[in-house]
Amino acid sequence: MKILLLDKNHPLINAQLSEKGFVIEEDHVSTYSEVLDKIGYFDGVIIRSRIPIDESFLLKGKNLRFIARVGAGLENIDTEKAKQLGISIISSPEGNRDSVAEHVVGMLLVLTNRLFIASQEVKNGIWNREENRGDELLGKTFGIIGYGNMGKATAKRLSGFGLKVIFHDILPNLSDEFATQVSLDELKNQADILSLHIPITDDTFHLIDEKFISEMKKDFYFVNTARGKNVKTKDLVEAIKSGKIKGAALDVLEFEKSSFENLDYQNSDLEFLLNSEKVIVTPHIAGWSHQSKEKLAQVIVDKILREFG
């Protein structure tokens, strides 16, 4: 089988698949149209996010047997068309779930204890103790929307913090030793902290909007390491200004490019988030640890070999 690697990934992908007899070509620079011209010669393609795998791509890839996404989200792939054409879709959420979970906990602790603000103040000669009192996690209720790989790993990481962890998911009977499944209404009534761990779909686009926020019984902290478009930024900003959202930790933004490599555009809402003391923003790196780079690649290789080796 001939496989095209369209993004830079851990070298173990090339090494291990080549060892098993796969023919590997790496191309990290060709444009979408240039890739289209040659995709018909390949049996499989391994991607991150640089090239969209749309209907035209799939139809040109007349010999494609699989598309492997090094990561969790599949929004850049026309999965329905791929299924119609009998093309397998492979992803690797197991590979960066631990990295995401640790990032959630890290951002939350920085946010609730004003660690970044206090550190910057001291470095600038300002010694504010009263203004920088922390808000303890102990005794709070942590609400998760989406209890897949990322949600479960996050709940596991929180098990030693003395939090009550609840979650809502569209699939039933997922409760475990780390978290209890509840209805969405129950989550809205109980949660002091809300964390998203969902894909971007028609149903989850702008899930967090003015209506959703207003239905939260308590003022709450908000964490998003899922997708920026799960949140209507304008409504998020208004809720932070009003105090309904006490603080936000955002690893993803609505205004990212589809490749996640940079911001697509700026506006006043984004400027507010970037300048607010109540907001922490990181550049889509929750699943981007040194360890996850290798684990993501290994999961992909193992799944390819299991199905096509």
* Ordered DSSP codes for 190-234: H-SEEEE-----TTTTT-BSHHHHHH-SS-EEEEE-S-GGGB-HH
Residue 244 confidence (pLDDT) above 90: yes
N-terminal to C-terminal alpha carbon distance within the chain: 9
SS3 256: strand
Question: What is the mean predicted confidence (pLDDT) over 96-108?
Answer: 98
- Among candidates 282, 257, 304, 262, which has minimal Cα distance to 70? 304
| Bridge partners, residue 2, by sequence | 23
Question: What is the mean predicted confidence (pLDDT) over 241-248?
Answer: 98
Tell me the percentage of the chain whose pLDDT exceeds 70: 100
Q: Which of 114, 157, 168, 256 is catalytic?
A: 256
- Among 136-140, 263-267, 275-279, whose mean pLDDT is lowest? 263-267
Instruction: Look at residue 258 in the predicted model and tell me its pLDDT.
Output: 81
Residue 266 confidence (pLDDT) above 90: no
Backbone angles phi, psi at 48, to 5 degrees: -110, -85
Residue 174 confidence (pLDDT) above 90: yes
Instruction: Look at residue 70 in the predicted model and tell me its pLDDT.
Output: 96
103 flagged as catalytic: no
- Among candidates 31, 76, 52, which has minimal Cα distance to 229? 76
Spatial separation of the C-alpha atoms in residues 104 and 96, rounded to whole Å: 12
Backbone angles phi, psi at 239, to 5 degrees: -70, -35
Instruction: Look at residue 60 in the predicted model and tell me its pLDDT.
Output: 96
- Domains of the chain are 2-91 (3.40.50.720), 96-281 (3.40.50.720)
Q: Which of 284, 294, 306, 307 is catalytic?
A: 284
Report pLDDT digits (tens) over 57-91. Answer: 999 999 999 999 999 999 999 999 999 999 999 99
256 flagged as catalytic: yes
Spatial separation of the C-alpha atoms in residues 97 and 95, rounded to whole Å: 6
Spatial separation of the C-alpha atoms in residues 186 and 269, rounded to whole Å: 30
Q: Which helix (H) or strand (E) holds 84?
A: helix 79-84
Q: Compute CA distances 106 → 110, 251, 287, whole Å.
A: 6, 11, 13
Spatial separation of the C-alpha atoms in residues 87 and 176, rounded to whole Å: 34
Instruction: Look at residue 43 in the predicted model and tell me its pLDDT.
Output: 98
Q: pLDDT band at residue 164, thresholds of 50, 70 and 90?
A: very high
Q: pLDDT band at residue 278, thresholds of 50, 70 and 90?
A: very high
Residue 260 confidence (pLDDT) above 90: no
Q: pLDDT band at residue 309, thresholds of 50, 70 and 90?
A: confident
65 flagged as catalytic: no
Question: What is the mean predicted confidence (pLDDT) over 106-118?
Answer: 97
Instruction: Look at residue 261 in the predicted model and tell me its pLDDT.
Output: 82
* Side-chain-facing half-sphere of 127: CA atoms under 13 Å: 0
Q: Which of 227, 238, 290, 306 is catalytic?
A: 227
Report pLDDT digits (tens) over 113-126. Answer: 999 999 999 999 99
| Bridge partners, residue 280, by sequence | 249
Tell me the percentage of the chain whose pLDDT exceeds 90: 96
